[in-house]
Amino acid sequence: MTLLRRIQWPADLRWLGHRELIVLAAQVREFLVEAVSRTGGHLGPNLGVVELTIVVHRVFDSPHDPIVWDTGHQAYVHKLFTGRAAGFAHLRQTRGLSGYPSRAESAHDAVENSHASTALAYVDGLAKAFQLKGEHSRIPVAVVGDGALTGGLCWEALNNIGAAEDRPLVVVLNDNKRSYAPTVGGLAAHLAVLRESPAGSQRDASVFEKLGLRYIGPVDGHDFVALERALLMAKQKAGEERGAVLVHCVTVKGRGYPPAEADEADCLHAVGVVDPATGRPAGRPAPTWTSAFGDEMVKVAIERPDVVGVTAAMLRPVGLYEFATKFPDRVLDVGMAEQHAVTSAAGMAMGGLHPVVAIYATFFNRAFDQVLMDVALHRLPVTFVLDRAGVTGEDGPSHHGMWDLSLLNLVPGLRLAAPRDTSTLREELWEAVSDGTGPTVLRFPKAPAGRDLPAVRRTDGLDVLAEHGTNDVLIISAGAMAVECVRAAQLLAAERIGVTVVDPRWVLPVNPAIAELATAYALVVTVEDNTLAGGMGAAVTRLLADLGVTTPVCALGLRPEFLEPGKREVLLARAGLDGERLAQRVVQELENRFGPHPECPAPRRAGEQVEAAL
């Protein structure tokens, strides 16, 4: 690793000869495998862009020439060459190195992107800014994958980039034939034709040329000489002709690491802690919410031939792989195009099907208009399954699924369930696909499935999970927060504070039975792993006010801020959403509103007990 340690900044790369570059690439791959196997992270994408990243930094002058990485998870090599090698010891950990570009970390990170298909729009805007400010020597660079090009925003940007005049920029197309999985659609077929046409050969114009960009390629993305020649040509053309140039680089995801190259499923796209020798998980994988959903979807599909699955380039991550294996004609992968996924599902529902659209909660934000106007306005029976809802973990602020409840609270006629365990998930999935009146949503976290939490009883559609003593506090729990709410109830009961915990099952719209139940309690507490702005707590508060119920509501959830990376349980605790801190907050709320509890000689003891436990 001697050579790698000498490379502290991009300028250091420009002094290396060809043989040294080959040695450096091998050392970078060795470093990545060792580092990512310890912490988890995106391995395959970064192994595939080692040579590409080195040459981009040799040719362009970052940060004078801003480099925008799309989707951003392939920027680890870029981080290595911009002074952050030591940070990989704490990759994707709280207050550690982000797994995506981070403006707070380095001036070399132009944006904090980690949602696909944004880079071209960013560089179009940067090029326009440089043009208007007279900074003609600056050339912004977008490194975008073929998978990201399946997203509609890319084509909105290309439409503007191709027609622009006097705006130099360079697009580096990293074509590895896949995103998480093989790239789909007409674009994939077009790129295949381009890959098979030697550079400089006679062929029909590429779609990029027809849009107005200069096209260079295809280029072997692992050949230093060919890469540098192509990117130097692109830089020269962009500067002299004052326009946009696209360099088509063909790479191999997972390059140089046999376990990744042999993994045809996703080339070890994203891994947890793994054995670096084999790429296999270090421990035995625990059952997950995603796997429970995937298992049940197969059962649903057997009974319901009208049910189809829809995914936005994430067949395996969202749990639809087994469904697709058994019913290949009934699962549609639309590429990284969440908006198209939703409106296409609307069309399928109009045609008599019941689509189940499985998307990460954070990516679901991108299709809100389609949910509102294309599905809900038409009262169409489409089920949305939001994986990774709530506090997600190590992927950081852009991946926490903490906005969906607030956004969906705005949608008329939509019903949203938050299962508390996998048994409830299975039950509510069947309820969702059986609803033909309008859109339904299920949300669940990225976490091990854990044990089931059975209800004490069910009343008016509400599951009562715990009942302790008198009617002092009613805790309403959203989804997987039920475990922490039951724990808090046990702590409060030990201090002779009467608590009832209910799971509304269907969180939105709020069940009117909650209002009637609330009248019997001194305080209502809502708990959700969603931002407090417009979430379940806000909906319950509004319902009680509309119905004239005067019981005060204490809404607990996530502050409206971007959460850092970290383990789910750590971030929940920091937000005050673990059982101990919830109990402490309830005690404080009771004292602030009502003074000492009448049946507890020293009500502060609960808070003190909790504080001591922390």
Q: Are 115 and 366 in contact (CB under 8 A)?
A: yes
Q: Give the Cα separation of 497 and 525 in Å (integer).
A: 14
Q: What's CA 141's distance to the chain center, in Å?
A: 24
- Does 114 carry a binding-site annotation? yes
Q: Kindly state the tokens that stand for 41.
A: 């992270």
19 is catalytic: no
Q: Are 220 and 212 in contact (CB under 8 A)?
A: no
Q: Give the Cα separation of 510 and 425 in Å (integer).
A: 19
- Does 511 carry a binding-site annotation? no
Q: Give the Cα separation of 282 and 322 in Å (integer).
A: 24
- Does 76 carry a binding-site annotation? no
- Does 163 carry a binding-site annotation? no
Q: Kindly state the tokens that stand for 553.
A: 């509501």
- Does 147 carry a binding-site annotation? yes
303 is catalytic: no
- The dihedral built from the CA positions of residue 245, 248, 249 and 253, taken in this order, carries a sign that is positive
366 is catalytic: yes
- Does 264 carry a binding-site annotation? no
- Does 148 carry a binding-site annotation? yes
* Candidates 237, 366, 415, 505; catalytic one: 366
Beta bridge partners of 415: 440
* Candidates 228, 261, 296, 338; catalytic one: 338
* Candidates 84, 177, 253, 568; catalytic one: 253
Q: Kindly state the tokens that stand for 203.
A: 């062929």
Taking the CA atoms of residue 421, residue 427, residue 433 and residue 434 in that order, the dihedral angle to the nearest 10 degrees is -150
- Closest to 555 (Cα-Cα) out of 512, 520, 580, 586: 586
- Closest to 206 (Cα-Cα) out of 187, 224, 221: 187
> Computed over its alpha carbons, how large is the radius of gyration of the chain?
26
The residue assigned the tokens 């207050």 is 95
C-alpha distances in Å from residue 414, one per residue of 345, 367, 484: 15, 15, 27
DSSP string, 251-289: --TTTT-HHHHH-TTTTT-EESSB-TTT--BSSPPPPBH
Helix (H) or strand (E) holding 145: strand 141-145
C-alpha distances in Å from residue 210, one per residue of 159, 204, 215, 385: 10, 10, 10, 38
Cβ contacts of residue 7 below 8 Å, gap of 6+? 13, 24, 80, 81
- Closest to 332 (Cα-Cα) out of 148, 188, 184: 184
Q: Give the Cα separation of 172 and 194 in Å (integer).
A: 15
- Does 530 carry a binding-site annotation? no
Helix axes 50-59, 18-39, angle to 10 degrees: 120
Query: Beta-carbon neighbour count of residue 331 at 10 Å?
Result: 22
Q: Give the Cα separation of 106 and 109 in Å (integer).
A: 6
Burial of 229 (0-12, 13-18, 19+ CB in 10 A): middle
Binding site, residues? 73, 114-116, 146-148, 176, 257, 338
Catalytic center residues: 253, 338, 366
Binding site for Mg(2+), residues? 146, 176
Binding site for thiamine diphosphate, residues? 73, 114-116, 147-148, 176, 257, 338
